[in-house]
Structure formats: C-alpha cells, structure tokens
Amino acid sequence: MAHVRVQQAPFDAGREIAALTQGRRDVGAVATFVGCVRDRNEGDAVSRMTLEHYPGMTEKALEEICAEAARRWDLLDTRVVHRVGPLEPGEAIVLVAVSSAHRGEAFAACEFIMDYLKTRAPFWKKEETPAGTRWVEARSSDDEAAARWQGGEGRP
C-alpha cells in the first residue's frame, strides 16, 4: 500500500503531495514532513553530508514502518522518499507524506514514521566539517522520540 523510494536524485514535495490527492475526493488531510541538510550540527559547520544505506533492507524497513503506521491509524495512503549519496546543506534528504480522512491520524502517523525511520531504517550520515569527516552519532533524543510510540497506542 505504501509508496517507498530510496534514490540519489532530488524529489519534488509538491508532486509527492499531489500524488496523494490527485483525482481523489475522500482525502481530508495530508501531513507531510521534509527533512533537510543543515549547515551546522553539534556546533560544527557542515559543508557536505553523504548518506550510506543498506540496499534492499532500507526499502523493506521503510515499508514495514509504513505498514505498522497503517495498522495503528486509519490511513488512506503513505509515501516515503529518502535520498542517498552526497548532499549539500539546504538540500532535502527525506519526505514522509500521509493522507487520511482527518488530520489527527495524518499528523500522528507522519510523526510516527519519521521517529521510527530515524531509529530503525538502515541509513548512516557522514559529515564533512572543518575538523574533518565524521560519522554522525545516533541521538538519544531520537531514541526517546521513537520510545514514545512503544506502547503501540495511537497518540504519542
């Protein structure tokens, strides 16, 4: 049911949202998240980011997360696009777009998918900073964000 893409090429958020509403009259709400490369992280300047992933597992992990979201909320459609390879500050990294009849489900599912993606989808960020290249460390705040959904309940 979910539409998942892992790609190097940029994506167009407007087109992804349109894909959820085009020709449909049952969609009442579309919640979308776009994550972008920032030129700062942990206090250091970031000049470039490179995304590594685990071909094959990445798509499966994202599909499984979207399926879990669809089990928890009454959703109409879900789209996730995640880029890999070299990215510059200002470029988009990921998009999660969720459609439903009402906004509560769309918002919760969109945030759920992002929180789980951050801790369960096999991507790794490498940053180029003035002090050299480094792998980004996983954030405890991301683990905490994911933990909020642990109880399997709907609302965070």
Partner 1 sequence: MLRERGADMVTVLYFAGLRERLDCAREEVPLPPGTPTVGSVIERLRARDGRWSDAFAPGRAWRVAVNQRMADLATPLKPGDEVAFFPPVTGG
Minimum Å gap between C-beta 99 and partner 1 is: 16
Contacts to partner 1 by CB under 8 A: 35, 51-54, 56-57, 60-61, 64, 82, 93-94, 114, 117-126, 135-139
Q: Is the dihedral of CA 137, 140, 146, 152 positive or negative?
A: positive
Q: Which residue of 53, 109, 145, 149 would you call a contact of a copy of itself, by CB under 8 A?
A: 145
> Are 11 and 83 contacting, i.e. CB atoms less than 8 angstroms apart?
yes
120 binds a copy of itself (CB under 8 A): no
SS3 state at 11: coil
- Residues in a beta bridge with 92: 36
SS3 state at 22: coil
Minimum Å gap between C-beta 104 and a copy of itself is: 7
Instruction: Choose the one of a copy of itself, partner 1, none that binds residue 51, judging by a C-beta under 5 to 8 angstroms depending on kind.
Output: partner 1
Q: Which residue of 77, 80, 105, 111 would you call a contact of a copy of itself, by CB under 8 A?
A: 111
Contacts of 139 (CB under 8 A, 6+ apart): none
SS3 state at 154: coil
60 binds a copy of itself (CB under 8 A): no
Cα distance between residue 154 and residue 104, in whole Å: 10
Instruction: Choose the one of partner 1, a copy of itself, none that binds residue 117, judging by a C-beta under 5 to 8 angstroms depending on kind.
Output: partner 1
137 binds a copy of itself (CB under 8 A): no
Minimum Å gap between C-beta 31 and partner 1 is: 13
Helices (H), the chain: 13-21, 57-72, 103-120, 140-147
> Are 94 and 81 contacting, i.e. CB atoms less than 8 angstroms apart?
yes
Binding-site ranges for a copy of itself (CB under 8 A): 12-15, 17-18, 21, 23-40, 89-90, 92, 101, 103-104, 106-107, 110-111, 114, 141, 145, 155-156
